[in-house]
Structure 1
C-alpha cells in the first residue's frame, strides 16, 4: 500500500465517523453553509500577471513537520496583505496536521478571499463539509478517484455553488478525468510514487489542457523565473505552500517571492 492509498483508506474511516456525528442536514444548518461563494476561476481569468494561491500547511508525508510554530490567522492575513489571489488550507489532520479549525480561523480572518479546502475528497459528504466551513472551491485528485467519480463529485460541488480544481500528475490522468464539470486544472509537479518534483510536468501538460479550463501549477515553485516561464505556457495560478511555510515567517517569504516576480516581470516582460 503506497502513501496515497494509506491516506484514502484513513479518509474513508474519518468520513464514516463524521457521518455519525453530523448528518448532511446538520451541515446545511451551519452558519457558513449559506454564504455566497467567490469565484477563483473568474479572478484568475481576468489576471494580467501570475497569481499566487498561498497555502497554510504544517506538515506533509514526504517532508514531515514543516512549520509547527505559526497560526493560520496570522499567516493567511500576511499572505493576503502581500497580494495573494486566494488561500489554500489543509484540513487533513493525520498526514498534514490540518483541521477544520485552521480553515475556519483563516476564513474568519479573510472573509472576502477565495479559499480552497485542501484535502482528499472521496465522498460527497465532504463537499457538504467544505460548504459548511466556508470554502469556495474543492480539490479533486484524479489519482484517487475514477473518472466517473470526478464527474459526479464535481457536479455535486457545482450544485452547492462551489468551484472545482482537478489535480492531475500526468497525461493519462488528464485525458481520462477531465470533464466539463471541472473549472480549473491543477498540474502537480510532484511524482506521487517517488515524491520527486519537476516543473517540466506542467510545461509538458500545458498544451493538452483546453483553454476553456484555467491552468494552475502546483509544487516545486520556488523561483520567479520558473513561475514566469509557466505563465508564458498559459498557467494563471500558482499554488505554493512549502516554499513559504518552511520559513519562520511565511508571510515575509511570500513578500520576497512576490517582489522578485514583479522585478523579473519588468526586466523580462512576457
Structure 2
C-alpha cells in the first residue's frame, strides 16, 4: 500500500536528518522558539483560533504532486500561490513538505512563514517525534498526525509534544475506530479524510457519517473530494468547521475566484449553460 511505502521512506528520511542534526539540537532550538519554554494557560494556538472564526473556514493547500494525480502543477511559484491564498481569504494554508510522492520541500514552509501572515499546517507523514520539533523550527503553526500510522498511545505522546511547543495538531481519521482513537488521545482538531488512503476512492459522505462521533467543542475538518459549492454547503449544514481544499485551487489560475465559487459567492457558466464548481 502507498501509505506504508511513504511511511517506510519517511522513517529512512528522519534517520538521515538525525545524522545531520541530532535530536537534542533540534529539541533545544524548537524550545527556544516557544514562549515560556513550554505550554501555559496563556498559550495562543493560531491555527485553532483561525478555524474558530464565524462561518466555515477554508484551509488552502500548496501541493505540487500527489500519488493519486501525479504532477498537479508543473509551474510551482509557491510564494505567490501562498500570497494568492491569503488574498483570497483563506483561514490557513496547508504546505506539503513530503519530497518523494508529493514533491514537497521544507523550504516552502519556511519561506512562506517569513512572507505570509496566515497559520501554516505542515502536511507530512509524521512517524517520529523529531519531526514535530523540526516543524516548530520550520515555522509551522500546526502539524498533521495520521491515525492510520499511529496508535493511540503514540498519538497522545505526539500531541503532548506539539501542544508543549505551542503547535496545534490536525489528527486525521478515515474510520470510526480512528476517530475514537483520536478522541482517546486528546485531539482538539480532527480531520476526516474522505479519500481512502488504501484505495484512493473518495466519498464525501465519510465526513458526514463520522461527524456525529466528534463533540462539537472539537474542531472538525473535512478533507478531499469536495467538488462543488453544494458539497461545501452540505458540509457546513453538517456542522463542519473547516474544509481543506487542494487540487482544484492548485489547478485554477484565479485562486480568489475559485475559492469564491466554492463558497457559493460566484457561479461559473459552462459552454452548455450549466452552473458548476470545479473539483477539489
Give me the whole-angstrom Cα distance separating, in 2, the residues matched to 1:59 and 1:261. 25
Secondary structure, counterpart of 2:241 in structure 1: strand
Structure 1 segment 67-216 matched on structure 2, within 5 A: 67-110=73-116, 112-179=117-184, 181-216=186-221
* Matched residue, 1:268: none
Q: Does 1:60 align with 2:59?
A: no
1:193 is paired with a residue of what secondary structure?
A: coil
Q: Hey, what's the Cα distance between the residues in 1 that align with 2:23 and 2:198?
A: 35
Q: Which segments of structure 1 move beyond 4 Å, counting only runs of 4 or more?
A: 28-33, 35-38
| Residue ranges of structure 2 left out of the alignment (5+ in a row) | 36-43, 267-280
The answer as to whether partners of 1:221 and 1:243 remain within 8 angstroms in 2 is no
Q: Does 1:230 align with 2:235?
A: yes
Cα RMSD (Å) of the superposition?
Answer: 1.9
Q: 1:102 deviation in Å?
A: 1.1
SS of equivalent residue, structure 2 residue 227? coil
Offset from partner CA, 1:93-136 (integer Å, 9 cap, x none): 011000101111211121x3110000001110000110000101
Cα deviation for residue 171 of structure 1 reads: 0.9
Q: Where do 5+ consecutive residues of structure 1 fail to align?
A: 265-270
Instruction: Figure out how many residues of one structure are paired with residues of the other and give that number.
Output: 258
TM-score of the aligned structures, taking structure 1 as reference length: 0.90
Matches of 2:208 and 2:144, distance apart in 1: 21
Q: What SS does the aligned partner of 1:161 have?
A: coil
| 1:48 alignment partner, SS class | coil
Give the alignment's TM-score, normalised by structure 2: 0.87
CA offsets, 1:237-265, max 9 Å, x none? Answer: 11111111123x2xx1343232552537x
Q: Secondary structure at the match of 1:54?
A: strand
